[in-house]
């Protein structure tokens, strides 16, 4: 499938790279890019070849959030149409957040507003130590509503209360301390750091990873009693999968599992 606002490549190992490709507007989100991100998520989820996904931006910025020209065009639209377009954004964020493959954020530049949301839907993200971040919606008289479920879960309510209210620009080391980034590295070390994480994931069973992603989502939103039932079943199911049987056998017989 060809894309206008993003690029999508898969290498021989099954490592896919999504690059937001609107550098002239700092990779800001518009309706077209949102639709293409939905489409690429669908492509990833049905693929049996893709093992891990990297999300990044073209050139200097990771993502500047919503395209202001696109947002301006929403002012004169009926409320119902604005809500429909917001629903498309919410759907795209949900699809990225729930990808069946691990999603690593490669934050090579600034992320503002919705760009912080894009970082937050990644399973984890590594950025350059010169990157800057900001939740700047309130400066425009708006709120970070659509991204808030993911940002608050990532950085916590305490940090959200500060950064949602003052629109301050913060640095990569602050993003690490808040949990938005897993690590911040020199620009020439970014790809090495990403590759290190990719290689670790490629040594693990893809079906087990997909199941673990569902596990994380479930236990974070259910009661202790519900989690007890679910986790017992989850592990029992894992023991019965081809991966579980093969993985244990490979370990005991000191040989590589087929996915490693």
Whole-number percent of the chain with pLDDT over 90: 89
188 neighbors 159 (Cβ within 8 angstroms): no
Task: Round to whole Å and give the CA distance between 62 and 70.
Answer: 18
Strands 15-20 and 52-57: parallel
| Res 260: pLDDT | 87
The low-confidence residues of the chain, meaning pLDDT below 50, are: none
Confidence (pTM)? 0.95
Task: Round to whole Å and give the CA distance between 138 and 65.
Answer: 13
**Contacts of 166 by beta carbon, 8 Å cutoff, 6+ apart:** 138
| Res 60: pLDDT | 95
| Res 234: pLDDT | 96
Residues paired with residue 104 on neighbouring β-strands, in sequence order: 54, 124
| Res 84: pLDDT | 87
The CA-atom distances, in angstroms, between 150 and each of 17, 39, 115, 121, 257 are 21, 21, 12, 6, 34
| Res 167: pLDDT | 95
35 neighbors 71 (Cβ within 8 angstroms): no
In a 13 Å sphere around the CA of 213, the CA atoms on its Cβ side amount to: 19
| Res 204: pLDDT | 96
Strands 183-185 and 124-128: parallel
63 neighbors 125 (Cβ within 8 angstroms): no
Task: Round to whole Å and give the CA distance between 167 and 157.
Answer: 15
| Res 111: pLDDT | 98
51 neighbors 201 (Cβ within 8 angstroms): yes
CATH number at 6-202: 3.90.226.10
| Res 183: pLDDT | 98
């Amino acid at each position: 499938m060809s894309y206008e606002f993003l690029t999508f490549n898969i290498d021989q190992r099954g490592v896919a790279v999504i690059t937001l490709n609107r550098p002239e507007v700092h990779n800001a989100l518009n309706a077209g890019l949102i639709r293409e991100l939905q489409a690429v998520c669908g492509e990833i989820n049905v693929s049996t070849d893709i093992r891990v996904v990297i999300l990044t931006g073209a050139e200097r910025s990771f993502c500047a959030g919503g395209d202001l020209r696109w947002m301006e065009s929403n002012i004169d639209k009926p409320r119902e149409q604005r809500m429909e377009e917001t629903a498309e954004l919410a759907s795209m964020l949900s699809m990225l957040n729930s990808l069946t493959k691990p999603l690593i954020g490669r934050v090579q530049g600034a992320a503002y507003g919705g760009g912080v949301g894009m970082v937050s839907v990644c399973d984890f993200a590594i950025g350059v130590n010169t990157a800057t971040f900001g939740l700047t919606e309130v400066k425009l008289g708006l709120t970070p509503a659509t991204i808030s479920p993911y940002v608050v879960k990532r950085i916590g309510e305490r940090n959200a209360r500060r950064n949602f209210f003052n629109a301050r620009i913060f640095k990569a080391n602050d993003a690490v301390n808040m949990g938005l980034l897993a690590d911040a590295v020199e620009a020439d070390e970014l790809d090495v750091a990403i590759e290190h994480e990719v290689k670790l994931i490629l040594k693990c069973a893809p079906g087990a990873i997909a199941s673990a992603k569902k596990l994380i989502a479930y236990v974070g939103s259910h009661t202790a009693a519900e989690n007890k039932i679910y986790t017992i079943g989850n592990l029992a199911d894992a023991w019965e999968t081809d991966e579980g049987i093969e993985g244990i056998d490979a370990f005991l017989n000191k040989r590589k599992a087929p996915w490693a």
